[in-house]
Amino acid sequence: MFVANHSSFIDIMLMIWASKHPFVFVGKKELVKIPIFGSLYKRTAIMVDRTSSKSRYEVYKRAQEVLDKGYSVCIFPEKEYSDETVLLNSFKTGAFKIAIAHQLPICPMVFLDCKRKYPWGTSHGHPGLLRVSVLPPIATAGLKSEDALVLLQKTYDTIHTELLNDKKQAAVNAIKVWKRYNLN
């Protein structure tokens, strides 16, 4: 199970580039409305209607089908992610429940530069080198569903620490830039 921070439009492409294993995204159903991208997305992703408990439950079944075919699963677990002034938002539990249910290790990935170079607000970004940290897997063997919040917190802390400890402080400095833009 790949889990990463979601800080820009380019994260999906960067995830594809950085992963050496084939995987399928779990993502929000609303993305199918995007011209061209939407038609590709609905063929290559496990879509979830976040307003439907039935749809959220179906993700478990679809994830098992994908895993049985030898693919991994990728989820961006942040609850909200488009606020450029937040380093890392709190996580939803879905990815961690799925990982435990299928006894999949969590592979945390951290996108260090996307928040500034390819932000959600596209008027202020700029091209440049993008770095990805692929961190050691977090084991789920033996965990039960009631351990999902502990696994979530461990993964969150791992990604958050990596962002804070980045020698270039790219995401941390990006927040300072976005706060200045928001004040004007």
Q: What is the pTM of this model?
A: 0.90
pLDDT for the residue numbered 183: 56
For 114, half-sphere exposure in the C-beta direction (CA atoms, 13 angstrom radius) is 22
The answer to whether the beta carbons of residues 131 and 96 sit under 8 Å apart is no
CATH code of 174's domain? 3.40.1130.10
What domain range includes position 43?
Answer: 2-183
* DSSP tag of 18: H
Residue-level pLDDT, tens digit, the chain, 184 residues: 999 999 887 888 898 888 888 999 988 888 888 888 888 888 889 998 978 889 888 988 898 899 889 999 999 999 988 888 899 999 999 999 999 999 999 999 999 999 888 777 766 777 889 999 999 999 999 999 999 999 999 999 999 999 999 999 999 999 998 888 765 5
pLDDT confidence of residue 123: 67
Are 10 and 130 in contact, with CB atoms under 8 Å apart? yes
Note whether 171 and 7 are within 8 A (CB): yes
Q: How far apart are the C-alpha atoms of 83 and 89, rounded to whole Å?
A: 9
The count of domains in the chain is 1
Closest CA to 80 of 178, 3, 7: 7
